[in-house]
Structure 1
């Protein structure tokens, strides 16, 4: 595959952990733990294929509505992964960034997030974004709040606000445009994930449950992406003659 056919920024909705566990006669939280290996596989694939940014939907703002036990396990798992994986990411030149409203997390978890981000901040082989307590509408509203504060303080003139300026206040402003959004688990929706960033992204849905999503499954998604013609509002003929 030629490099210009490889997406620079891939996002994944990691769905199907609970159903995977149920199929094996296990409780839902067993599937969340099994999904950690698929995260490692996705990071390996991204690094090996020179993908610049990988954004994983770990915990949505709506996930707080799940059973308290499951939410607790997800928080414990997030803590565990930060403890065990941050040094490995740093060793492999991966920069970690957590996007979302972290104000709802306990201070110990916030401190671990800050420590991991600081440790890896100068790495450049891959940016791994973990979306935690994240929602696409929250991201847009949060950007709007920041812009309104700038306007109110006189730092920004409202006439200067356009799509480019607005984007500068969103969670992934410093990274490549989103090229490919993958959702595992068979559902065909984006579930309030990266709504602003998805404007021109290619969408790929697979029935594969997240714990079964390995490097081969990632390759299939990338191959599908490479076969598509991205027109960005132009005609196919215009794209072909560029």
Structure 2
């Protein structure tokens, strides 16, 4: 009976998704979408699998969501895949993630979709702590896509918002030293734009919409500086279970707020 009901509901679900997609396509799109991919480990545990298996499911979902972004013409996307705190996780899990990073970076460097859509991939965050094999794979991916003119895809690895701001201030101090400015002189002329120039996302628009899965209602340090005026959407779905209909509902919510405030 349950299977029969599910089979009968599929056409209705498909029709609703297509109708929602058509509606969303007519509305304003975020210039920069941030994605906090949360819930891989909980998803795996719910299935009785090891937490590391959940990350593999999460990788496949990330590709799927990026295809949705390409379909809708979103120009800049930042996905947070590994935080500075993630290095504290069990050694087996970290090793599995490092292996996935190498494998997926190499696949992306050859992926026809990346090249057909001219996706420029940038890796943002601190690179300390990553092995040489991981760094080589990431640098090759960046190099292969550096001159692409389509979507900009930021992959946040070894990333923390506080660390990003610290690194931006360090960059400012080094710049001031090279120009012969004292810390006092720098302080006198310092502006928010000066810090923004040294952020990992320098040259890109700030995110106007950020989605986090898994039901957590917090940013956990994601794009702290850049998200000052962002809209947020927290969905109570684990990342590997995040469906296109969930994504479209999130975008519809964003568009409704944009229309409400006349933006």
2: distance between equivalents of 1:34 and 1:87?
A: 21
Q: 2:85 aligns with which of 40, 52, 62?
A: 62
Match of 1:107 in 2: 132
Q: Which residue of 73, 82, 96 maps to 1:50? A: 73
* Counterpart for residue 166 of structure 2: 141
Contact 1:56 1:129 in 2 (8 A): yes
Q: Is the 8 A contact 1:47 1:125 kept in 2?
A: no
Q: Which residue in 2 is equivalent to 1:175?
A: 204
- How many Å separate the matches in 2 of 1:104 and 1:71? 11
Q: 1:154 and 1:3, CA in 2 relative to 1: closer, same or farther beyond 3 A?
A: farther
Question: Hey, what's the Cα distance between the residues in 2 that align with 1:184 and 1:144?
Answer: 31
Where does the alignment leave 5 or more consecutive residues of structure 1 unmatched?
Answer: 231-235
TM-score by length of 2: 0.84
Query: 1:176 and 1:224 mapped to 2: Cα distance?
Result: 20
State TM-score, norm by structure 1: 0.91
Aligned length: 234
1:23 counterpart = 2:46: yes
Trace 1:220-235 onto structure 2 (pairs within 5 A): 220-229=249-258
CA distance in 2: counterparts of 1:213 and 1:180, whole angstroms: 17
User: Is the Cα–Cα contact under 8 Å of residues 50 and 125 in structure 1 kept in the other structure?
Assistant: no
Which of 95, 100, 104 is 1:81 aligned to? 104
1:37 is aligned, of 28, 53, 60, to 60
Deviates more, 1:148-157 or 1:27-36: 148-157
Which runs of structure 2 are paired with 1:141-160 in the superposition (5 Å)? 141-154=166-179, 158=186, 159-160=188-189
For each residue in 1:71-128, what CA deviation from the matched residue of structure 2 results, as whole angstroms up to 9, or x when unmatched? 1111111111011122212343111100000122112211111111011011122111
Give the match's secondary structure for 1:228.
helix
Give the structure with the larger helix fraction.
Answer: 2
